[in-house]
């Protein structure tokens, strides 16, 4: 039986063995290894030290979270309005996502500067990174339709727990959220909303310091407190519109959450 080996397959096989340290296929003389018991395999050739490809930048240096939070708090406190806060966020270099995930710019916020409801999502994605505004992709369009149907379109200010796109659209880490938290809190202070709508599990957990999943947290009222304890606001967690795009049957639960929030928002007096 005549078998012909594809040259590309042969090259691939040789490369595999070379990576494993094999530098010879046959020895010049036969060796009875069982009898000798003393055969020492030739040492694998030394490989040059790994170098960083010029096309792939080295990993961003580690950020000291405590120092970064202190710097963020100082910059946030100095901002006297939302425009100044946006400038402070754009200049902030203490969040590792600025080097790791974002391709273009910081993504701060959009909406009414005197909104009654402040919507806080998880983090920007590819569309948000390109356009510089939160919730502008497919999930954002669904969120806008839902807010409009609930009568909240002109009554919201929308931001995220982090302002730079996480690599691969992964969930922001607790450290990344902690570094950005002073800016989020300052936005709340400047907008002065009546309540918060926390969109998605990462947002709800970070803002409320809870460990439960979003399916457990959604639809329930919680109290958000500022870091200094001087401000408290009612907060409603709900499902992220990206989840609703994957699970359309869950839209009715998110709609119930919005109706619950709207009903409380429109009460003449806040209940005790």
Residue 14 lies in a domain: no
Residue 121 lies in a domain: yes
**Mapping DSSP to helix (H, G, I), strand (E, B) and coil, where does residue 195 land?**
strand
Residue 230 lies in a domain: yes
β-pair type (232-238, 117-121): unpaired
DSSP string, 223-245: EEE-TTS--EEEEEEE--HHHHH
Domain count along the chain: 1
- The helix (H) or strand (E) run that includes residue 251 is helix 251-265
Supply the pTM of this predicted model: 0.76
**Mean pLDDT, the chain, whole residue set:** 85
Cβ neighbours of residue 241 closer than 8 Å, sequence gap 6 or more = 135, 139, 140, 142, 143, 146, 199, 254
> Tens of pLDDT along 140-173?
999 999 999 999 999 999 999 999 999 999 999 9
Using 50, 70 and 90 to split pLDDT, how confident is the model at 175? Answer: very high
Residue 271 lies in a domain: no
Does position 190 have pLDDT exceeding 60, yes or no?
Answer: yes
Does position 57 have pLDDT exceeding 50, yes or no?
Answer: no
Using 50, 70 and 90 to split pLDDT, how confident is the model at 53? Answer: very low
> Tens of pLDDT along 98-118?
988 677 789 999 999 999 999
Does position 180 have pLDDT exceeding 60, yes or no?
Answer: yes
Kindly list the strands in the beta sheet with 222-225, ordered across the sheet, starting from the edge strand earlier in the chain. Answer: 110-111, 156-160, 117-121, 195-199, 232-238, 222-225
Residue 132, domain extent? 65-265
* Helix count and strand count (H, E) for the chain: 12, 6
Strands (E), 173-215: 195-199
Q: What is the CATH number for 253? A: 3.40.470.10
| Contact status, residue 206 vs residue 159, Cβ threshold 8 Å | no
Burial of 54 (0-12, 13-18, 19+ CB in 10 A): exposed
Residue 20 lies in a domain: no
* Distance from C-alpha of 150 to C-alpha of 153, rounded to nearest angstrom: 8
Does position 272 have pLDDT exceeding 70, yes or no?
Answer: no
What is each CA distance from 27 to 31, 42, 73, in whole angstroms?
8, 10, 69
User: Looking at the DSSP assignment, which residues form a beta bridge with residue 196?
Assistant: 118, 235
Does position 31 have pLDDT exceeding 70, yes or no?
Answer: no
* Distance from C-alpha of 130 to C-alpha of 221, rounded to nearest angstrom: 34
Residue 194 lies in a domain: yes
* Distance from C-alpha of 203 to C-alpha of 100, rounded to nearest angstrom: 20
Mean pLDDT of 179-193: 98
* Distance from C-alpha of 236 to C-alpha of 267, rounded to nearest angstrom: 16
Residue 60 lies in a domain: no
Using 50, 70 and 90 to split pLDDT, how confident is the model at 139? Answer: very high
Token pair 């450290």: residue: 175
Residue 75 lies in a domain: yes
């Amino acid at each position: 039986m005549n078998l012909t080996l594809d040259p590309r397959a042969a090259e691939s096989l040789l490369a595999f063995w070379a990576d494993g340290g094999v530098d010879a296929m046959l020895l010049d003389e036969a060796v009875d290894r069982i009898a000798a018991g003393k055969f020492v395999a030739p040492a694998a050739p030394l490989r040059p030290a790994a170098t960083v490809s010029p096309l792939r930048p080295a990993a961003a240096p580690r950020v000291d979270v405590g120092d970064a939070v202190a710097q963020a708090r100082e910059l946030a406190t100095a901002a006297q309005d939302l425009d100044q806060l946006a400038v402070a966020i754009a200049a902030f270099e203490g969040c590792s996502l600025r080097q790791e995930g974002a391709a273009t710019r910081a993504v701060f916020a959009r909406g009414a500067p005197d909104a009654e409801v402040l919507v806080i999502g998880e983090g920007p994605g590819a569309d948000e990174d390109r356009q510089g505004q939160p919730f502008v992709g497919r999930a954002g369009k669904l969120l806008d339709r839902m807010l409009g149907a609930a009568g909240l379109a002109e009554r919201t200010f929308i931001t995220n727990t982090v302002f730079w796109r996480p690599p691969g659209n992964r969930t922001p880490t607790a450290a990344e959220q902690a570094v950005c938290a002073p800016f989020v809190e300052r936005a709340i202070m400047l907008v002065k909303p009546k309540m918060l709508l926390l969109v998605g599990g990462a947002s709800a957990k970070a803002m409320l310091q809870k460990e439960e999943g979003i399916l457990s947290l959604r639809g329930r009222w919680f109290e958000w407190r500022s870091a200094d304890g001087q401000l408290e606001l009612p907060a409603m967690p709900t499902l992220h519109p990206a989840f609703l795009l994957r699970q359309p049957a869950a839209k009715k639960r998110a709609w119930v959450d919005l109706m619950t929030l709207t009903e409380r928002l429109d009460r003449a007096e806040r209940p005790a």
